[in-house]
Amino acid sequence: MKKFISAFIFVLVIHMALNIENCMSQWTQTNTPSAIIYSIGVKDNLIFVGTPLGVFRSINFGNTWQNINLGVVNLYVSTFAVSGQSVFAGTKDRGIFRSTDNGDTWMAANNGLSSTFTTQVLTGKDRVYSVVGGKVYYTQNNGDSWTEMPGVSGVRTIAFKDEQLFAGAEEGIFMTPDNGGEWFKINYSLNVRCMTISAGNIFVGTELSGIYVSSDNGKNFNAVNNGIPEMFTINSLAAIGTSVFAATDGAGVYFSINSGASWLPENNGLVSQRVLTLHIDKANLFAGTFGGVFISRDNGNSWQNIGEGITNGQMINCFSVSGNNLYVGTDRGRVFVSPDEGVTWKAYSNQGLIKEISGKIVSTVGDINSLFVNGSFIYAATDSGVFRSLDDGITYKPLSLQWRGVNVYSVLVHQNHIYAGTSQGFYFTKDDGKMWNLVDNAFNGLKVTVMKSSGGNFYCTTGNGVTAVINKELISSKLPVNAEIYDLAINKKHIFAATFGTGIYKADSDNSDWEESNEGLVNTQVTSIVSLGEETLIIGTWGSGIFYSTDNGEKWYPANQGLIDMKVRSLIIKGNTLFAGTEQGLIYKRNLSEFTEKD
């Protein structure tokens, strides 16, 4: 009996050890690049934020977030207001929604509105006000119907001072002393984006002209920009007592305690400097940025990121590595960088790749198809040409007007030349983009999607073919199937082509005699491939996750433990870690040493 018990314990210990090892060998999800936060609202202990994917709600002050559907998906929610037990959400293209159950359900509340383009909803003493289509409305029945306050147009924002209502417009400022019975235009020149009231002063944030203040009830407005960068747009203003906070479009948050006579930056912990909105709730100051939502509990002295659970829904199209930094490019024209392997992400302005159109932040270049980082320069291959940033991702400019509007699938810097694989051929420039030339006339008009360099040799794909430049000699070959190559990997002995639909093909290093290499693969829609050492390969598939081979592709094994999104778009190796980007915008990582055992 004792021998039986000892044997049973031995088997149990071995079983537990194997399970522990199996649990350790798995993918872990990194934090994801944060969503753009357009708007913030607070009701009791609930926080609501508006993003390009609609509304997210937190019931525990940002520890966790839930996407709540307003009845229409992917709404651009621009403003929130709370009135009693009701929460109002104003959107850029579907008008106003109302919830009476803390956001569990929403109903459209647009009766009486002549437009759906909402820029503000504001709670007054006995009314709720809204700015929709440049006009001002109010409701006295909790949004069941809205009544226009005629006499003003082009309005973006409103604010109360005592019994007076001020309206900031694209061409000046209006004021009504009697709830819209009569409007008076008190300023004709300011292009107003936001307003707030503090200590009897009216603060106005403008487009490209900074901040103005009036201490005489709007008779005169004076510029108060001491300390604020010149020609800056102010996206939002908020006040806590005599402290006034300004959200800038690229320089973070500034504050003033002397009626705007001077301003100081308050950006400790605020990793995104493009701030779109500010919100005050009691002593808490919230900031919605290009890189998530932040809270300050000490009057702006320090900021804490509370938006890490808010997904951005952007497909991770590509990766790049430079030094300690990991870069990602998305299908919505954005580039993010992490200095700590995905623990935190910096969301730069990406000016030149994205811009605001009718209140929405949209890509002006389509997808980011490929990234290449060379020192402090970031190159982005996009659906509208090659763009380059010289300031670590803050601004991007087209490398050449020749490529404006041309699909560029890959970009690479090799031996002081910049190469671009495009929908019209394979080109290079040796004069920083002033003049682009075909690498060879054989590439004219061909779609070149992938470029790789290895050991001084150069490889690129054209449809189902691979062209190698080996010892300055052009060697071309085609796969035995008609399938587009999505990625390439090269080791000392072989070249591997990842195709979407027919799996993996490999050839000798001289780019000849391709053969299928799919044993063990349950999905041949392969999107990406990386090579590790002399014999190990790792691939990402569209729907079946990740596979690896330790014998140069002779046999493939799944490696999906811990992987939730099986639609893998991109892979990259950084040091001893493999990163995988997915369709849902998730990023996973796994130690390379784990790709020796089967999951």
96 and 52, same domain (yes or no): yes
* Residue 467 is assigned to a structural domain of this protein: no
Q: In what order do the strands lie in the sheet with 377-382?
A: 368-374, 377-382, 385-389, 397-398
11 — pLDDT class (breaks 50, 70, 90): very low
pLDDT of residue 511: 66
Q: Tell me: pLDDT of 341 over 80.
A: yes
pLDDT in tens, 420-443: 999 988 899 998 888 888 888 878
pLDDT of residue 7: 44
**Which is more confidently placed, 387 or 599?**
387
**Which is more confidently placed, 443 or 157?**
157
397 and 483, same domain (yes or no): no
* Residue 31 is assigned to a structural domain of this protein: no
213 and 76, same domain (yes or no): no
Residue that terminates a domain, selected from 123, 141, 173: 123
239 — pLDDT class (breaks 50, 70, 90): very high
**pTM of this structure:** 0.82
* Residue 397 is assigned to a structural domain of this protein: yes
395 and 257, same domain (yes or no): no
* Residue 519 is assigned to a structural domain of this protein: yes
Tell me the mean pLDDT in the region 254-261: 96
pLDDT of residue 8: 40
pLDDT of residue 18: 38
Tell me the mean pLDDT in the region 319-326: 95
Q: Tell me: pLDDT of 407 over 70.
A: yes
Q: What is the domain-level CATH number for residue 510?
A: 2.130.10.10
What 3-state DSSP class applies to 437?
Answer: strand
Q: Are 448 and 409 in contact (CB under 8 A)?
A: yes
pLDDT in tens, 52-62: 878 999 999 89
Counted domains in the chain: 4
pLDDT in tens, 551-564: 999 999 999 999 99
Q: Are 497 and 514 in contact (CB under 8 A)?
A: yes
Tell me the mean pLDDT in the region 397-404: 79
119 and 91, same domain (yes or no): yes
pLDDT of residue 599: 59
154 and 295, same domain (yes or no): yes
Phi, psi of 596 (to 5 degrees): -130, -10
266 and 370, same domain (yes or no): no
* Residue 457 is assigned to a structural domain of this protein: no
CB atoms within 10 A of CB 515: 12
Q: Tell me: pLDDT of 23 over 60.
A: no
302 and 178, same domain (yes or no): yes
Residue that terminates a domain, selected from 399, 430, 446: 446
179 and 307, same domain (yes or no): yes
Domain that holds residue 161: 149-311
Q: Tell me: pLDDT of 484 over 70.
A: yes
* Residue 10 is assigned to a structural domain of this protein: no
pLDDT in tens, 575-584: 999 999 999 9
pLDDT of residue 415: 79
Q: Tell me: pLDDT of 3 over 60.
A: no
What 3-state DSSP class applies to 27?
Answer: coil
245 and 180, same domain (yes or no): yes
- Dist. CA 499–CA 505, nearest whole Å: 8
Report which secondary-structure segment, H or E, holds 6: helix 2-24
- Gap between the terminal Cα atoms of the chain: 35
Tell me the mean pLDDT in the region 63-70: 86
Percent of the chain with pLDDT over 70: 94
Q: In what order do the strands lie in the sheet with 201-206?
A: 192-198, 201-206, 211-214, 222-223
Tell me the mean pLDDT in the region 458-468: 85
pLDDT of residue 132: 98
222 and 259, same domain (yes or no): yes
301 and 377, same domain (yes or no): no
Residue that terminates a domain, selected from 311, 336, 368: 311
